[in-house]
Structure 1
Amino acid sequence: MFFSVYSGISKYLLSYVLISVFLVIKSYGQEPQISVPDSIQNKTVDELISLIKSSSSDHSFTFETALENSQNPDINLAKIYSEIGYYFYKKEASERSISYLNKAIEIAKKTEQDEILCKAYLRQGNSYLQDWKNQKALDAYHKVLEMAQKKGDLRNEIVAKSNIAIVLRRMNQLDKALKDCNELLRYVDKTSFKNGKNHVNILTIISEVYLDLQKFDSVLKYADKGIKISESLDYEIGIADLYIKKGIVFYQRKNYDQALEFLYKAEDILTRLKFNERSNQSINVNYFLASYFFENKNYDKAIEYLLQTIHALENNDLRKNRVIETHILLAKSYKEIGDIDASVFWFTKHQELQDQFQQEKDETVNKIYDQSTRKLDSKIKRLENKQQEDQKYRNYIFGAFLIVFFGMIILVVTYFRKQKANKTIFDDLIKKISDLESKKDIEEIEIKDATKEITIDDEKINEVLKGLDKIEQQEYFLSLDCNLRSIAKKVKTNATYLSKIINTYKGKSFNDYINDLRIEYVLQKLKNDRKFRSFSIKSIASEIGYKSDNSFTKHFKAKTGINPSYYIKNIEKLNRQSQDI
């Protein structure tokens, strides 16, 4: 009997243990359940939205859970999360904005709410743009553009393209940005955007592109047009932004009185609107006012404006171009008042930010190139499909003939326009090469004023620069083994220090520095060496240090605007003409 009782107890304990283990394992496979108090669960949707907006990111999860558990049949979570994301975007809380917009996108995809999805992608792109995450912003805007073009939605197409132009301008793809902006201005007349805030925003973007191109008359033309529209709308931030553009133009022209007039006007508007000191507008005003005081040797006042910007910054702001320039100007200002330690500190900070920006820029430019390639592949695919469809309608020979005929006319016109553009580029190249050859030192590279005045270990820097000059004279950059580490070894320094010196004193990244040397060399070599011109593109690429002809062609076209084959063909033609004479 004792044995039977013991056996019964053992079975009971074994069952209890197995059930407990099962429950523990099951609990690990489930997400933790958030207990929502009735006092919160009974709140209205509007009240929950207000609580989310006013709470920190750590305390908002309970309100989100209550919102998602709401029994209100009319609730549209995708739309609500999109609006919350937009709210935090306006507060410049980009990380929280993006987290809610991601929720909106996920829900809108599942529920097939295309209109909300498009708006959420657009707002996501704006938040990434605000955070200077340019590559992610570009991805979001291209999704908006794809959806807009598919639906024939011209309004969203204009908005997407205008924001893409901002990214292109940040990546120094100025020709592409300018082309897109001019196209947008033609589109605006067909929409309700005309003479509205979006029209002003496009004019602001195109004035920024012209500013980077140093075409100051065009900046003033579009800025004045934008100011006029903004004044009719009482669009004060638009007015302030364009005042800043005009102030920069007059500063660059050294007309300091007018520059100060517009910069102070912009500063007054930003102060009245209580605009965030982290905003691009505030950073630009502070930078150029500081630049003015620096030029007039009022270094303490310059430092005051620059530190005002830096103290307001957050980590996400350090990607901005003007913030990087703020650091170098601060270093120069401290150097002028004799505070070398502070100068070195801010110069080092500038170099770190510059390296980080260059890396992110290269990644984004590659993304732009890949997207352009995919777009071309898509066009080719559509053309192939069209040709296949045309085969089904062989009876419409006359119609097909007309299509081919007009298509040929377009191709011929396009071809001759392209040839004319290439000829202009080619003539400019020949003139530049001739100018270079007439100089005693053709390899001299202009050093930017912004970094030229900072000196750290001058003797070591001079040794490295002399080493680089020697390497350029020996044409080591043509070697396949030429890389950052090998050159660093030759000039007796480390790769990191060499990279910073090249950034500072050559005004470009290491890769750009080597590519520029190679392309300048090959331009002159092809011009002057007939035998070299007879080589294949692949052989020429190998001769000047490239591992593939594709890489050589890509860098040659990026530098000159034409293909190497076109350049060689026209050099031969030019030589034949000179011989005939």
Structure 2
Amino acid sequence: MNNTKVIKKLLLIFCTISLQYFFSQEIYSDYYELRKKYEDLEENDIIAFTYIRPYISKAKKEKNYEKLVQGYKDAVFYALLDEEKLKYTDSMVWAANLSRDKDLMIVAHIDKGVIYYYNYKKFQLALNEYLEAYEYSKNTRNEYLKYQNLYHIGVVKSYLGYYDEAADLFGKCLLYYREKSTSDIHPNLIYNNKKGYLNSLHQLIICYRHLGKYKEMDAAIKKGLTEAGSSKDYAQEKGYFLLSKGISEYREKQYEKALSDLNSSLLSIRNSRDFARLSVNYFFIGKSYLGMNDDQKSVVYFRKIDSIFNKHQFILPELRENYEILINYSKKNKDQDKQLYYTGQLLKADSIMSKDFSYLSPKIHKDYDTKTLLEEKNKLQKINYLVTVIIILLVIWAIGLIMLFTKKQKKAKEIKQKYILLEEKFVKDQNISEVPNNTIEEKRVNLHEGKVEELLRKLQTFENKKGFTQKGLTISKLAAQLGTNSSYLSQVINEYKGGNFNKYLSQLRINYITNLLFEDRKYLKYNIETLAKECGIASRQNFSDLFYEINGIRPTDFIKKRIQEIENNN
């Protein structure tokens, strides 16, 4: 058994190194160029479809099913209406099936399940998709997908009230996502894994609350708020932690504090369109007012929950009390019509929850719990026979690792050479004095020489004043600032600046930040996102790609080399 643990550990290390290496070798294509134009837009922004549609059309034409799945996945993210999101998840499943790629099938079924769960709160349909994904995930080497599906099965268990079992699943997810989010991997992977970590922590807090583990719950809330911080990327998760904090304060009868935190969480939860958690928020705001003996204010929020229930035909089991409160309030005010109405609503809520529980509980035990136990048993029976085979494979992989490290050393040498060339270029540029050139070479007959000279002077002033660091700068905006039109400005830049507007702007920005990194040590302490913002680039990934394209070296590699050089000189 000890040998088995060692083997598994070695396998995990090898897979991690391999994934990081191959991800770093990603080749950017036309698909990347299309995605780059919309990837920084906010969720549900339909402007993205200007580029998503050609992306999908291209993938269909080329029968590139991996990109087609990605295109539909992006469409799900940016679609405004829930029914459109569901339609695109159907297309994802269709494209994944055509690809016959098990990992793509896992992604498609998980995403479809998420829409059923998150946008519709149809747990029965969501569970069917998660279990379908689970079947495909048995043999996958993609650990991220396994834990993503594990998380969603945990959500269903939590809804059913199996809080101990759900907490166990979320605990496993936390360990995995925590390790990955602090690893030396691609920033986008770090972002996804941190999202997974924060959501798992939030679900674990819900389990702790229902299990009465309040000490663990409060510690997890504090940790969640610290981890989420003030970053816009994690605003939704921060809202969930504030909601949990407000519930905890309500339990301790700190009603004013509870109301403050509950109201602070409302905006992000509304923006996320998570009507289930919004109902929980309203419920505890109402309960806090009730604790302060303000029946008039409390009932407003209890009625909001009823409105949400009428719209979505869904309610969490813990909110059943909402109708009991409204029935008693109506009885107290001798409003028989309202009392009858809320009694009917309570019966309807019980009926919906009963149908969910009668379907979900046996299915999750039969199709997930029992199968998982049997699979673990079979693995234990077979593991002794596999040890020898695995050792042989490890020897082969060890050879592969040696080759991989050799390749890595070669790449390190290449990075060093590129850094030296870049440093020589910087020194050379510093020694060359700027001599104004007042003569304009005649390049195109339709450009007026006097106007060209004037526009070039304005562009020189724009460059000297670092106007290119403006965020969201477009050729139209720059043309307006320079008092000309986009077409004329484009012609001048193309003829006299060695490329189109985007290339010109990128060159200015990257040269500017490169010079700062050479001249001022404080910039070496900044993260990539901060450096990108400093020179006017919105996306850290776009910044990294442009830096590499212009300088021939990634910014992270450049910074490491620069720091190393400074330390050696010292």
Question: So what's the TM-score if we normalise by structure 2?
Answer: 0.51
Q: Tell me whether 1:180 sits opposite 2:164 in the alignment.
A: no
Q: Tell me whether 1:138 sits opposite 2:127 in the alignment.
A: yes
- Percent identity reads 17
**Paired letter, 1:82:** K
**Paired letter, 1:125:** G
Shift of 1:107: 2.4
Residue equivalent to 2:151: 162
Matches within 5 A, 1:25-424: 71=61, 76-88=67-79, 91=80, 93-130=81-118, 131-192=120-181, 196-231=194-229, 233-234=231-232, 235-267=234-266, 269-270=267-268, 275=271, 279-313=275-309, 315-321=311-317, 324-371=320-367, 372-382=369-379
Structure with larger RCO (C-alpha < 8 A, sep 6+): 2
Residue equivalent to 1:557: none
Shift of 1:368: 1.6
Question: CA-to-partner distance for each residue in 1:78-98, whole Å, 9 max, x for gaps?
Answer: 33333323434xx4x444433
Q: Distance in 1 between matches of 2:287 and 2:157?
A: 26
Question: CA-to-partner distance for each residue in 1:6-25, whole Å, 9 max, x for gaps?
Answer: xxxxxxxxxxxxxxxxxxxx
Residue equivalent to 2:522: none
Shift of 1:350: 0.8
Q: Distance in 2 between matches of 1:74 and 1:159?
A: 25
Q: Distance in 2 between matches of 1:274 and 1:384?
A: 50
Q: Distance in 1 between matches of 2:200 and 2:76?
A: 24
Question: CA-to-partner distance for each residue in 1:526-549, whole Å, 9 max, x for gaps?
Answer: xxxxxxxxxxxxxxxxxxxxxxxx
| Alignment CA distance shift 1:192-1:297 (3 Å) | closer
Please say which structure displays the higher CA radius of gyration. Answer: 1
Question: CA-to-partner distance for each residue in 1:276-328, whole Å, 9 max, x for gaps?
Answer: 67623322221111122233443222222222343345543424335544333
Shift of 1:236: 1.7
Shift of 1:248: 0.8
Q: Distance in 1 between matches of 2:138 and 2:321?
A: 38
**Paired letter, 2:355:** Q
* 2:112–2:129 contact (8 Å) kept in structure 1: yes
Question: So what's the TM-score if we normalise by structure 1?
Answer: 0.50
Q: Distance in 1 between matches of 2:161 and 2:284?
A: 21
| Alignment CA distance shift 1:227-1:135 (3 Å) | same
Shift of 1:169: 0.6
Matches within 5 A, 1:470-509: none
Question: CA-to-partner distance for each residue in 1:34-93, whole Å, 9 max, x for gaps?
Answer: xxxxxxxxxxx999xx9xx999xxxxxxx99x96997566685433333323434xx4x4
* 1:330–1:343 contact (8 Å) kept in structure 2: yes
Question: CA-to-partner distance for each residue in 1:104-124, whole Å, 9 max, x for gaps?
Answer: 212211222444322212211
Q: Distance in 1 between matches of 2:360 and 2:294?
A: 39
Local SS of the residue matching 1:150: coil
**Paired letter, 2:154:** A
Q: Distance in 1 between matches of 2:204 and 2:68?
A: 37
Q: Distance in 2 between matches of 1:318 and 1:139?
A: 18
| Alignment CA distance shift 1:337-1:292 (3 Å) | farther
Q: Distance in 2 between matches of 1:319 and 1:289?
A: 17
In structure 1, the gaps of 5 or more residues are 1-44, 56-62, 394-581
**Paired letter, 1:116:** L
In structure 2, the gaps of 5 or more residues are 1-33, 47-52, 184-192, 390-570
**Equivalenced residues, count:** 334
Local SS of the residue matching 2:253: coil
Q: Distance in 1 between matches of 2:146 and 2:273?
A: 31
